[in-house]
Amino acid sequence: MSERSASDGSSDREPAKEAKVASPVMNCSS
């Protein structure tokens, strides 16, 4: 899970599909 969080920044550049998934995930992590 930690790896995904760090990749979050890179994910932001990915398509909206990935960003949408990272958004909720980041909030939960926060």
pLDDT of residue 15: 61
pLDDT of residue 5: 53
Structural domain of 9: 1-30
User: Which residue numbers in the chain have pLDDT < 50?
Assistant: 1, 30
pLDDT of residue 8: 58
pLDDT of residue 28: 57
pLDDT of residue 27: 57
pLDDT of residue 14: 58
The pTM assigned to this predicted structure is: 0.16
Number of domains in the chain: 1
Exposure string over 1-30, b if 16+ CB within 10 A, otherwise e: eeeeeeebeebeeeeeeeeeebeeeeeeee
